[in-house]
């Protein structure tokens, strides 16, 4: 794997892919992509400038992308669906696959709630249209419950954290690294994960005009990110240390997250399209989006070669 990273770095450095003056504006969530690429040594020779912008969740990232403040970024399938349905000029160009243990509904250590059934009538914090919202709806559907069987408090992660800590809500439906942060530092319990409920899918997305005008840079960025994710599977300690430094959070938190997540980059293929269509259908059934989108029309398969050339 080390030889693969070195070979890729040399190939990219000598390829003359883009002018050093070109800038790719990249949205990141909690240091996710930047930390793994830095830890893998794949930000040392980028032949264009990467302008990183940090976001606490997918919703503000997608708002920035819609406004043209960034050109690409990492988001979950649920908020991506929400944005696409609203007419945002965005397409998924690569998929991020991982285990489903890090998307969960949390309760405090001292809570009497033990199972999802105990949440009937209770208040759950999450972001509107987020993967946490997606998990709640999927769990309601699986259990034959209606929307009124739980109370959903739509809050940004920082506000959800405060409400959860103060006991203003009974549970928090959230994602990594928030799940691991609560588990490791505050002994919260996961009463349900997305296993068997949602596809656990995220996307690297890009503006349509960036796909047209900065394809060279996007191809290069995807190749580097794919190689970095492959490297991270066997170098969790190094990645966790870099991420912890970036976020000023104890290394035990990313260790918990990354050791079980097994994050990898995958091309947009038939399986990814089918999973995204499932998310679209879920949101349409629950009235979160007004028109039923066609998944194949909001993805771009043309970056598969970039992923393949990174060693997959």
For residue 264, say if its preceding peptide bond is cis, omega within 30 degrees of 0. Answer: no
Residue-level pLDDT at 8? 52
Q: What is the pLDDT of residue 14?
A: 44
Tokens of 296: 């194949």
> Residue 216's pLDDT is what?
97
pLDDT reported for residue 80: 97
Q: Which long-range contacts (CB under 8 A, 24 or more apart) does 136-142 make?
A: 136/105, 136/173, 137/282, 137/283, 137/286, 137/288, 138/194, 138/197, 138/198, 138/282, 139/105, 139/192, 139/197, 141/282, 141/285, 142/197
Task: Tell me what pLDDT residue 31 has.
Answer: 87
For residue 2, the model assigns a pLDDT of 46
Q: What is the pLDDT of residue 64?
A: 98
- What's the pLDDT at 17? 45
pLDDT of residue 21: 77
- Please give the pLDDT value at position 193: 98
Q: HSE, CB side, 13 Å, CA atoms: give it for residue 223.
A: 26
* Residue 104 contacts residue 190 (beta carbons within 8 Å): yes
Q: Are residues 100 and 200 in contact, defined by beta-carbon separation less than 8 angstroms?
A: yes
* 97 contact partners, CB below 8 Å, separation of at least 6: 200, 201, 263, 264, 265, 266
* Closest C-alpha among 103, 110, 100, 102 to residue 188: 110
CB-based burial, 250-280: b 16+ in 10 Å, e otherwise: eeebbbbbbeebebbbbbbeeebbebbbbbb
Taking the chain (312 residues) in consecutive chunks of 10 residues, what is each chunk's mean pLDDT?
48 46 94 93 95 95 97 97 96 97 97 98 97 98 97 97 98 97 98 96 97 97 97 95 92 96 97 98 95 96 92 42
Q: Could you give the domains of the chain?
A: 2-98+200-308 (3.40.190.10), 104-193 (3.40.190.10)
Task: Please give the structure tokens belonging to residue 131.
Answer: 């993967």
What's the token pair of residue 252? Answer: 């035990």
């Amino acid at each position: 794997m080390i030889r693969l990273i070195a070979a890729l770095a040399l190939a990219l450095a000598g390829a003359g892919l883009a002018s050093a003056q070109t800038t790719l504006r990249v949205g990141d969530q909690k240091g996710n992509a930047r930390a793994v690429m830095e830890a893998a040594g794949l930000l040392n020779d980028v032949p264009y400038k990467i302008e990183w912008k940090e976001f606490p969740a997918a919703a503000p990232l997608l708002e920035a992308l819609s406004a043209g403040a960034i050109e690409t970024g990492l988001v979950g399938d649920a908020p991506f669906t929400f944005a696409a349905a609203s007419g945002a000029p965005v397409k998924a160009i690569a998929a991020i696959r991982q285990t489903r243990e890090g998307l969960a509904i949390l309760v405090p250590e001292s809570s009497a709630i033990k199972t999802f059934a105990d949440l009937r009538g209770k208040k759950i914090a999450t972001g509107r249209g987020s993967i946490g919202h997606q998990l709640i709806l999927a769990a309601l559907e699986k259990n034959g419950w209606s929307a009124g069987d739980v109370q959903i408090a739509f809050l940004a992660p920082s506000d959800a954290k405060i409400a959860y800590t103060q006991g203003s809500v009974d549970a928090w439906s959230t994602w990594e690294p928030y799940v691991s942060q609560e588990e490791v530092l505050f002994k919260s319990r996961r009463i349900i994960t997305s296993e068997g409920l949602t596809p656990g899918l995220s996307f690297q997305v890009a503006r349509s005009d960036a796909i047209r005008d900065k394809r060279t840079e996007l191809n290069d960025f995807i190749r580097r990110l794919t190689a970095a994710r492959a490297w991270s599977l066997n170098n969790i300690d190094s990645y966790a240390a870099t991420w912890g430094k970036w976020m000023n959070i104890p290394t035990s938190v990313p260790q918990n997250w990354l050791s079980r997540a097994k994050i990898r980059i995958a091309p947009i293929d038939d399986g990814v399209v089918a999973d995204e269509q499932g998310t679209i259908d879920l949101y349409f059934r629950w009235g979160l989006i007004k028109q039923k989108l066609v998944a194949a029309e909001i993805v771009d398969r043309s970056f598969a070669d970039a992923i393949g050339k990174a060693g997959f």
